[in-house]
Structure 1
Amino acid sequence: MKKWLRWALIALLALVAVSASGCARRAEKNSWPRIKQTQKVVIGLDDSFVPMGFREKNGNLKGFDIDLAKAVFKLYGVKPDFQSIEWSMKETELKNQTIDLIWNGYSKTPEREKQVAFSDDYLVNHQLLVTKTKDNIHTYADMRGKTLGVQTGSSGAAALDSEPKLLKQYIKGQDPVLYDTFTNAFLDLNAGRIQGIFMDEVYARYYVAHQKDPQSYQILTSKGFESEAFAVGMRKSDTQLQAKINQGFKTLEQNGTMAKLKHKWFGTGAE
């Protein structure tokens, strides 16, 4: 066989193998056998969500969810592969099997439960209104005619829509400004382009505490909005993967790892 023909045949066989592998990946219902065999699980996240999962200046990922995911899968000899995704497309990424899990301060809601399966809860979160102290906003009604920011696809955005009479009715145009990340929302808040951010407590308190002047921010605890449970999202067919994660949480609770991680990232009082 001529050399060029041999290499052409090798390339063709490789292409067929990759194509077949891709089809099998898309049709996969139970991910755990592949995850266990390859020792890799793909986790989708918004890599700007401090302190759950975010990038340092050097590009390294860190955060509570990063540490927790590593601790859970270390029990099974599996290494998490964290993939940055567009947060508003998270369920689509999961459905298309480009990721195996959504694990990044992902709130369990009835609407989301229609699309994905959830692990057991591992953290309780609340929605907070963050403003600048100088604006003297002490109630939701004080936001009347003012501009509010929320993250696109966030649980805060969903809460605003589900309970419009609590806060949404007061804001300018009765419609918030949407941001890809909370970081961009804070840039506009600090610049005075918006007067409030409705957002997750875990990020709000971490962000404010790490500013040069924390007293320049006012945090209004949510009234009327239900608290949220953080959990891991996965395809409904992945019952075996779901069981492994739930068992991992139980093990980490029992050996004290869960408590240590919560204290590391949130201090005392984390639920």
Structure 2
Amino acid sequence: MKKFALFLISILVIGVLAACGSSETSGKEEKKVLKMATSADYPPFEYIDTAKGSEIIGFDIDLAKAIGKELGYEIEVQDMDFTGLIPALQANKADLVLAGMTPTEERKKSVDFSDVYYTAKHMIVTKKGSGIKSVEDLEGKTVGVQLASIQEGKAEEIAETVNIKVENRNRIPELIQEMKAGRFDAAIIEDTVAKGYFKNDKELEGTVIEDGETEEAGSAIAFPKDSKYAEEFNKVLNEMKENGELEKLVLKWFGGEE
């Protein structure tokens, strides 16, 4: 009887341990990693502070991680050129994109977007002393824009009425470099991003485009078409707008300056 009782106890102990093991395993499986694509050349939205390390930081990174935490997802950030972001979603190489991306009608044909989470304006950026203070002052000038950005579309729109040569580059630092080298007379950059460059480079200045026709460049989260994550991310995003959490991130990264 004693041997039989010991046998039964052994079976019960093994069963309990097996159950615990299954629970821990299933718990790990529930922790899903989502791949977020971005273009880390767009401070303060996403960038690398080389003085502090190689980690990608910024407003979009904090926003993605805050939403991911609320939903139980771990966010894995990968850097690529801006032009590769939508193709990455289409090829299922990324689950979402946060990159200060504007939800244009053209882009909506390829991907789905959340509601807009931040709004900014277009700015003409030049070297100090250029004399360029308006769209009209760009007459006969070479203007740089980031490839595939909303600013590229704005420059092409301006070119319909003002004689400018539009040049594009993959990343914002390249636009700044070309200006400082004298190859570009100006660049059109989102004002929030431009202000970040002004803090570190006193040779630069900028003017917000105020022509009555300029649409604000709102930023939204992009997802593959019919993504199951779009609705739940949008729900948490709007909760963050209502409870003040989004405003806290805005104040952290933009200092409350719109």
Match of 1:231 among 206, 220, 236: 220
Distance in 2 separating the partners of 1:45 and 1:123: 16
Distance in 1 separating the partners of 2:138 and 2:81: 29
CA contact (8 A) 1:179 1:185 kept: yes
Distance in 2 separating the partners of 1:136 and 1:90: 36
Identity fraction in percent: 25
CA contact (8 A) 1:149 1:196 kept: yes
Q: Which residue of 1 aligns with 2:195?
A: 205
Q: Which residue of 2 aligns with 1:261?
A: 249
CA contact (8 A) 2:46 2:61 kept: yes
TM-score by length of 2: 0.82
Distance in 2 separating the partners of 1:63 and 1:83: 13
RMSD of the TM alignment (CA)?
A: 1.8
Q: Secondary structure at the match of 2:94?
A: coil
Distance in 2 separating the partners of 1:222 and 1:197: 16
Q: Secondary structure at the match of 1:186?
A: helix
Tell me the amino acid that sits aligned with residue 250 of structure 1: N
Give the structure with the larger strand fraction.
Answer: 2
Match of 1:104 among 83, 99, 106: 99
1:161-176 aligned within 5 A = 161-166=156-161, 169-171=162-164, 175-176=165-166
Could you give the per-residue CA deviations for residues 16-52 of structure 1, whole angstroms, max 9, x where no partner exists?
xxxxxxxxxxxxxxxxxxxx84521101110111111
Q: 1:56 to 1:247 in 2, by over 3 A?
A: same
Q: Give, in angstroms, the shift of residue 136 of structure 1.
A: 0.7
Q: How many residues align?
A: 227
1:51 aligns with 2:44: yes
Max radius of gyration: which structure?
A: 2
TM-score by length of 1: 0.78
Distance in 2 separating the partners of 1:63 and 1:229: 17
Structure 1 segments of 4+ aligned residues over 6 angstroms from their partners: none
Distance in 2 separating the partners of 1:158 and 1:143: 16
1:147 aligns with 2:137: no
Match of 1:178 among 145, 168, 174: 168
Distance in 2 separating the partners of 1:46 and 1:218: 23
Q: Secondary structure at the match of 1:183?
A: helix
